Structure 1
Amino acid sequence: MPAWPVGKAGRVPLSYGYDAGAHLTRHTSPFSSVASRLCWALALLCLLALPAQAAIEVTGMPGELNLGPRVAVLEDPDRELDIASLLARRDRLPWRASDQDTLNFSFSSSAWWLEVDLANASAAPERRLLELAMPLHDYLDAWLVDERGEVVQAWQTGNRRDFDSRPVAHRTFVLPIALPPGETRRVILRLDTHDGLYDATPLYLMDDASFLAKTQRELMAFSLYFGALLALLIYNLLLYVATRERPLLLYVIYLGTFFVLMFAARGFAFQYWWPTLPTFNNQMIPLNIGLFAITLAIFSSNYLSLQRQAPGVARALYGVAGVCLASALPALLGHYAPIFRLMIPAAIVLSTLLLGVAAWLSWRGDVLARIFLVAWSVLLVGVSLYFLRVAGVLPYNAVTEYAVQAGSGLEFLMLALGLAWKINRLKNEKLAAERATHEMQRTLNQQLEAQVRARTSDLEAANRQLVALSRTDPLTGLLNRRQFHALVDDELQRRRRHGRPLLFAVMDIDAFKAYNDTYGHQAGDEVLVRVAALLERHFRRAGDRLFRLGGEEFGLMLEADTLAAGLQALEQFRAAIEGLGIPHAGSGHGVVTASFGLVACEDFDRVPDTQALYVQADQAMYEAKGRERNRIVTRHLAFGA
C-alpha cells in the first residue's frame, strides 16, 4: 500500500471510497452490453462527484473527538466477511459515510463494520484511545492496519466475552491506538450481536490525559450517585427493621432493584461482581428490568394507595408490569431482541399509567401524588435527555451524559421524603384512631359499668326476691315451713341457754274447706291473705315470727315471757278475725273464725326439737276445734308439771 499524503485541513485522503459500480451492479441487471456500459459510466460519474474520505490528523486533534460522523460504515447482512476478505475486497464493498453523531443500528440481524483512518504527521509517536462508550455491546472485534495493508494489532472483546478480554480494564470498551511518527493507521471495527439487538454506539477518540480526566469525572459522578442510592437503601432498611412499616420495605426493594439495574447497565457489575460470567451478566439486565417493573408497580400502588383510590389502575399497573417480567424470561434461553420489542412499549405504557394516575390524584388534592408526580417526571426527563443525547439529537455534555443519574437520584430522594411524610401521616392517623378508640372504649366502659351496676342491682333484687321466695309463702308473704323449722330450732336453743320460756301457737281457720267449697278457691285465697295481713298488723314486736305452715294453718312464735301475756295477745287477735265479719255460711258463727293451740314451754327437755313443739301446739289447736272452734286452748310445759 503506498503512503498517503496529507491533504487539506490536516487530513489524509483515503485510498478507498465507494465502489459505486459494484454497489449498483448488485441492484441492476445488464440486459445488454449497452446497458452495462451506461451503468458503469453513471457509476464513474457518481464516484467523481463524491468527496474523498480523509484520515484524521491526531496531532492537532482536540482532547476528545466524536468519531460518529467521521467513520465509514459497511453492513454485512450475511455476516460472511472476515478481516482477510474485507481487506482483499475493500475497494469493491459498498461503504458509506456515517450520517449520525451517535451510531445506532437498533434491531438488525446484520454485522456492521466501521473504518476510520488516523494520521500522525508529527515526528514523535502518538497514542490515542478509542472508546466505544456503551458497555453492553455483545461482540467487538477490532484491527489496526498499517499503510501496507497488514494487521499490526487485533482485539476481540465485547459484553459476551470475559471481562479480561478488554485491553483496558474499564467498564466500556477502550482500545489503545499506537501511531508511529509520520504514519497512518486504519482502525477497523466489527460490531455484532447475539440475536440482533444493538445498543447505541457512541464512539470517541481521545488522548491519555483526556481519557483520565473523563474517567475521573465519571468515577466521581458514579461514586456519588451509587453511594447516595446505597445510603438511602441502607437508611430505609434500618428504618424498616426499627419500625416494621411495610412502605419502607417496598421502597427498599424498589430502590434495590433499580440500583442493581443501573450498576449492571453501566458496566460496573460485569467489571466488579461477575467478570467471568458474561452470559449471566446479559441475562441479568432484562430480568432485572422485569423485576424493577414489578417492584415499581407494587411500590407505586402502595405509595399512592391505589387499591383504595383507583383499584382498576392498580390492576392495570400489575398487568403491564407482569408483561414486562414475562417478556424478560426468554433471556434465560438466550433470546434478547424479542424481549425488548415487547418490553419497550410495555415500559412506555407503564410510565404513562403512572404519570396519568399521579396527575389525576394530584388534581384531586393528594399531596403524596403531587410528590410522586414531580419525582417521576424528574426521572423521565433525565431518561429522555440521555437517550436524546445517545440518538444524536442533543449534544454530549455533563447534563445529557448524567441526566439519568441526576433524575433517578432526585426521584428516590423525593420519594423518600414523601415516604417519610406518608409514614408520619399514617402515624398521626393511627394516633388519632387510637385516641378515638380509647375515648370510645372509655365511653363504652362507662356504659358497661352503668349497665353492670344496673344489672347487679337487678340481680341483687332478684336474689333478694329469690331468697324471700325461698323463705316466704308466695300467697301471704309470711315465712314458710322451711323457715319455721330453721328459726324455731335456733330460738329453742337460744331460750334453752338463757332459761327463758318459749311461747308458740298453731292457728287454723275454722271450716275452711267448707268455705272453699261454698265460695271458691279464689275467695279462700283472699281470706288467707286478709288473715295474714291481720297477723302482721297485730304481731309487730321484734321477736314475733309468723309462719304459714300449709293450707289454712299458721304458726306464731310470740315475743312474750308468760303464758298470760301470750294468751292475751292471741285473744285480741282471735276477736279481730271474728271482727272482720267475713261471711261464712258453713260456720256455726256465720263468719270466718279461727282456733288456736298455745304452748308455753319452760321445760325444754319435753320439747327437744321444733317438731315436738309443733305437736304440742297442734294437739292444743285440735282440742280447741273440738270445743266448738273459735277459741284458744293452752298448754304449760313447766318444770315438774
Structure 2
Amino acid sequence: MPSLPVTVLGFARWLLALLCLVSVNVQAAIEVGTLSGELNLGPHVELLEDVAREYGIEQLVSRGDALAWQASRQETLNFSFSSSAWWLRLRVVNGSSDEVRRLLELAMPLHDYLDAYVIDEQGEVVSQWRTGNRRDFDSRPIAHRTFVMPVHIPAGESREVFLRLDTHDGLYDATPLYLMSDAGFLAKAQRELMAFSLYFGALLALLIYNLLLYVSTRERSLLLYVAYLGSFFVLMFAARGFAFQYWWPTLPMFNNQMVPINIGIFAFMLAVFSNSFLSLSHHAPWSTRVLFAVAGLCLLSSLPALLGHYAPVFRLMIPAAIVLSCLLLGVAFWRSLRGDTLARIYLVAWGVLLVGVALYFLRVAGILPYNIVTEYAVQVGSGIEFLLLSLGLAWKINQFKNEKLAAERATIELQRSLNQRLEDQVQQRTRELERANRQLTILARTDPLTGLLNRRQFHELVDQELQRRRRSGQPLLFAVMDIDDFKLYNDTYGHQAGDEVLMRVATLLLDHFRRAGDRLFRLGGEEFGLLLEVDSLQAGKQLLERYREALQGLAIPHEASRHGVITASFGLVACQGCEAVRDVQALYHLADKAMYEAKASDRNRVVTCSLLSET
C-alpha cells in the first residue's frame, strides 16, 4: 500500500493534468496545416478587456488562463466606444508534415494601435510587431492597406497568437479578423483591388468628365458637383487605407486627421451642391438656411480632430449627419410632390447614398454588425448616386438650353410679326425687318435640333449637283444613314434622351465631313443624308466606315440594341454622269434601298450600290 505522501502526490498530478485538459479545451486549437482559403477568426478568438492597460505579453503568457478570458461570439469584433485596451488570443496547430506560413489579417485600415505576438510551445516570443494607423506605414510586416502578419508554424507544432488592440481616444471601428494561406490572401487582395480600382476609376472618370464640361460650359452646378465628388473621392481613398499606403505613408497623424476633416468637408459640399441642384434659394429659402446651419455644424464638429480628439468628433457628427440626411430627403420629397423632375432624380440618387452612409455609421456605433452589406454600402450607394446626379446635371443643362432656344424662337417670331406691321415706317425699322428675314431664311434651311440642312435643302442642292455632274461627267456619291433601333431607344430612355443622341450624331457628322463640297442633311426623324465630295466608291466607303466606327466608339448605351450601344446603318450610291439616275427621288430611293440591306444584314454596316461605268 503506498504511503500517504505518494498518494497525495499522485492525486495532485492527476488533478493538474485534468486542469491542463480543461485549459486546453477552453481555447480549441485551429488546425491550419490544410487551410487553403480564408477563415473568419471572429467566433474563434478569446477576448480580454484590459481596463487599466496594465497587462503585458509576459503576464499573459505566464498567468495563462487565470485571467478573465472570454470566448468571442461575434462574427466581426466590435468594441465601439470603449476606454479599455483589448487583447485577443488564439491557438493554431500544424498537423501536417511540412512547415506552413499563414497570414493573419486585421481588415480594418483605420485601427489606431496594433501589437501582435507569436508564442511557441515553450512560451517564448518568436515574432512580434508594433504597428497601426498611428504609426508609420513601414511598421507593417507586409505592405498592404490593412494589417497583415505572417505566422510560421513548424510541422507538428502549435503557436499561440496574441493581439493587443488600442485606440487614441476610445473609438473602435468594427474589427474583421481573418486567417488564410498565401494563395488565399493573394486571391482576396486581387478581388478587392479589382473592385476598388473599378470604383475609384469610375469616380475619377466622372470627376474629369464633369470638370471638362464645366470648362466648356462654365455651368456653376458642374463645378460644385466636381468639388463635392472630389471631397468624397479623397474621403473614400483615405478611409479605405489607400491614401496612407500611397500618398503619405510617413504622416500617420495627418492621415488620421484627414478622415474626419473630409467627412465635414463632404457634408458641407453636399449642402452647397444640393442647394444649387435643387434651386432651393429660389423655391424654398428657409430650407437653405437650415441646410447650411446643419452642414456647418458637421464641418465644425470635425475640427477637434486637428487637436487629436476623434471620439467626440463622431459623437457629434453622427447625429448631425442623420439630421442633414433627413433634411435633404424631406426637401427633395417635397419638391418631388410638386412635380420637380430634378428633385425626383435627386431623391432617388441621394436616397441610395444616404442609406449606405446610414448603414456605415450605424456599424461604427455598434448598432449593426459588420458584414459585406454594411462594409461596402457606401461604395455601392455612392457609385449609383454620382452617376444619377451626373445624368441629372446633363438633363438640367439641356433643359436650360431648350428653354433658351424656345425663348430665341419666340423672339424671332415676335420680330417677324413686328416687321410685317411696320414695314411702312422708317428705314431703321426696315433694316430690322430685313435682318429678321435673313434670320428666318437661315432657319428655313436648317434643322432646328441638329443644325444640319433640312429636307427642303436636300432636294434643291442635290438636284443642282445632279445637273452639274451630268454636264461634267464627274461621279456623284450620296449616302443615307439611319440610326439603328432608334424607336426602341426612345421607348427605353425617353424622347429627351433621343434628341440628345440626334444632336451628338449630328455633331460627329460635322466633325468627320468637312470638305468644301460635303453636304449634310437631316431627312427626318433618325435619318440623315450625306452628299460626299470624293471621286471613288472606295473612298466614300472608307469615309463612312470611319464615321461608323467613331459613332460606335462614342459608346452611347442602348440596352434594347443587339450591339448594346448606339450604331447606324448606311446605304451608299455612286453614279458617274448620273445618266442612270433621273432625279433626286430616284437617287434617294437607291441609297435608301442599300441602307435597308444594311439593316437586314445585322445593322451597323455600310452597303454600297455602284452605278459607275467600268473602263
Corresponding residue number in structure 2 for 1:174: 148
Corresponding residue number in structure 1 for 2:299: 325
Corresponding residue number in structure 1 for 2:470: none
Corresponding residue number in structure 1 for 2:120: 146
**Aligned match for 1:225, one of 199, 205, 210:** 199
Q: Residues of 1 paired with 2:21 and 2:205: CA distance?
A: 55
Corresponding residue number in structure 1 for 2:407: 433
* Counterpart residue type for residue 346 of structure 1: A
SS in structure 2 of the partner of residue 170 of structure 1: coil
Is 1:251 matched with 2:251?
A: no
Q: Residues of 2 paired with 1:16 and 1:292: CA distance?
A: 55
SS in structure 2 of the partner of residue 270 of structure 1: helix
| Range 120-129 or range 272-281, more displaced | 120-129
8 A Cα contact 1:376 1:411, kept in partner: yes
Q: Residues of 2 paired with 1:447 and 1:302: CA distance?
A: 43
Mark the CA change 1:333 to 1:369 in structure 2 (over 3 Å): closer, same or farther: same
**Aligned match for 1:216, one of 174, 190, 204:** 190
Q: Residues of 2 paired with 1:318 and 1:395: CA distance?
A: 32
The alpha-carbon deviation at position 388 of structure 1 amounts to 7.6
- Deviation per residue, 1:119-167 (Å, 9 max, x gap): 1111111111111101000110100011111111000110011101111
Q: Residues of 1 paired with 2:50 and 2:78: CA distance?
A: 15
Mark the CA change 1:56 to 1:432 in structure 2 (over 3 Å): closer, same or farther: same
Mark the CA change 1:62 to 1:55 in structure 2 (over 3 Å): closer, same or farther: same
Is 1:69 matched with 2:29?
A: no
- 1:461-500 pair list within 5 angstroms: none
Corresponding residue number in structure 1 for 2:79: 105
- Deviation per residue, 1:285-305 (Å, 9 max, x gap): 111000000101111111111
Mark the CA change 1:441 to 1:345 in structure 2 (over 3 Å): closer, same or farther: farther
Corresponding residue number in structure 1 for 2:178: 204
**Aligned match for 1:338, one of 288, 294, 312:** 312
Corresponding residue number in structure 1 for 2:547: none
Q: Residues of 2 paired with 1:14 and 1:443: CA distance?
A: 106
| Range 208-217 or range 360-369, more displaced | 360-369
Corresponding residue number in structure 2 for 1:128: 102
Q: Residues of 1 paired with 2:25 and 2:222: CA distance?
A: 62
- Deviation per residue, 1:46-85 (Å, 9 max, x gap): xxxx962211111244611111111111111111222223
Q: Residues of 2 paired with 1:349 and 1:389: CA distance?
A: 18
* Counterpart residue type for residue 302 of structure 1: S
8 A Cα contact 2:318 2:361, kept in partner: no
Larger Rg: 1
* Structure 2: tracts of 5 or more residues without a match: 1-17, 429-615
* Counterpart residue type for residue 282 of structure 1: N
* Counterpart residue type for residue 55 of structure 1: A
Paired residues in the alignment total 410
Is 1:277 matched with 2:258?
A: no
**Aligned match for 2:350, one of 367, 376, 385:** 376
The alpha-carbon deviation at position 430 of structure 1 amounts to 2.6
SS in structure 2 of the partner of residue 54 of structure 1: coil
The alpha-carbon deviation at position 441 of structure 1 amounts to 7.2
**Aligned match for 2:322, one of 348, 351, 363:** 348
Corresponding residue number in structure 1 for 2:160: 186
Aligned-pair Cα RMSD in Å: 2.8
* Structure 1: tracts of 5 or more residues without a match: 1-12, 19-49, 455-641
Could you state the TM-score of these two structures normalised by the residue count of structure 1? 0.60
Q: Residues of 2 paired with 1:253 and 1:303: CA distance?
A: 13
8 A Cα contact 2:27 2:90, kept in partner: no
**Aligned match for 1:424, one of 398, 404, 424:** 398
Corresponding residue number in structure 1 for 2:283: 309
8 A Cα contact 2:141 2:149, kept in partner: yes
- Deviation per residue, 1:479-515 (Å, 9 max, x gap): xxxxxxxxxxxxxxxxxxxxxxxxxxxxxxxxxxxxx
Q: Residues of 2 paired with 1:316 and 1:253: CA distance?
A: 21
Mark the CA change 1:396 to 1:286 in structure 2 (over 3 Å): closer, same or farther: closer
Mark the CA change 1:170 to 1:16 in structure 2 (over 3 Å): closer, same or farther: farther
Corresponding residue number in structure 1 for 2:332: 358
Mark the CA change 1:333 to 1:385 in structure 2 (over 3 Å): closer, same or farther: closer
The alpha-carbon deviation at position 382 of structure 1 amounts to 3.7
Mark the CA change 1:192 to 1:451 in structure 2 (over 3 Å): closer, same or farther: farther
The alpha-carbon deviation at position 261 of structure 1 amounts to 0.4
**Aligned match for 1:80, one of 49, 54, 58:** 54
Corresponding residue number in structure 2 for 1:415: 389
- 1:585-604 pair list within 5 angstroms: none
Mark the CA change 1:80 to 1:440 in structure 2 (over 3 Å): closer, same or farther: farther
Q: Residues of 2 paired with 1:277 and 1:257: CA distance?
A: 20
Is 1:261 matched with 2:215?
A: no
The alpha-carbon deviation at position 352 of structure 1 amounts to 1.1
Mark the CA change 1:273 to 1:395 in structure 2 (over 3 Å): closer, same or farther: closer
Q: Residues of 1 paired with 2:393 and 2:26: CA distance?
A: 61
Mark the CA change 1:447 to 1:266 in structure 2 (over 3 Å): closer, same or farther: farther
Mark the CA change 1:135 to 1:444 in structure 2 (over 3 Å): closer, same or farther: farther
The alpha-carbon deviation at position 377 of structure 1 amounts to 2.2
- 1:286-305 pair list within 5 angstroms: 286-305=260-279
Mark the CA change 1:319 to 1:71 in structure 2 (over 3 Å): closer, same or farther: same
Q: Residues of 1 paired with 2:127 and 2:238: CA distance?
A: 30
Percent identical? 72
Mark the CA change 1:336 to 1:14 in structure 2 (over 3 Å): closer, same or farther: farther
Mark the CA change 1:125 to 1:190 in structure 2 (over 3 Å): closer, same or farther: same
* Counterpart residue type for residue 426 of structure 1: F
The alpha-carbon deviation at position 86 of structure 1 amounts to 2.6
Corresponding residue number in structure 2 for 1:156: 130
The alpha-carbon deviation at position 306 of structure 1 amounts to 1.2
Mark the CA change 1:148 to 1:379 in structure 2 (over 3 Å): closer, same or farther: same
SS in structure 1 of the partner of residue 128 of structure 2: strand
Could you state the TM-score of these two structures normalised by the residue count of structure 2? 0.62
SS in structure 2 of the partner of residue 260 of structure 1: helix
8 A Cα contact 1:166 1:174, kept in partner: yes
Q: Residues of 1 paired with 2:231 and 2:338: CA distance?
A: 31
Q: Residues of 2 paired with 1:154 and 1:402: CA distance?
A: 31
SS in structure 1 of the partner of residue 29 of structure 2: strand
The alpha-carbon deviation at position 394 of structure 1 amounts to 6.7
* Counterpart residue type for residue 198 of structure 1: Y
The alpha-carbon deviation at position 437 of structure 1 amounts to 5.3
Q: Residues of 1 paired with 2:323 and 2:20: CA distance?
A: 50
Q: Residues of 2 paired with 1:357 and 1:351: CA distance?
A: 10
- Deviation per residue, 1:170-225 (Å, 9 max, x gap): 00000111111111111100111111111110111111111101111111111111
Mark the CA change 1:448 to 1:228 in structure 2 (over 3 Å): closer, same or farther: same
* Counterpart residue type for residue 301 of structure 1: N
Q: Residues of 2 paired with 1:78 and 1:370: CA distance?
A: 53
The alpha-carbon deviation at position 245 of structure 1 amounts to 0.3
Corresponding residue number in structure 1 for 2:69: 95
* Counterpart residue type for residue 431 of structure 1: L
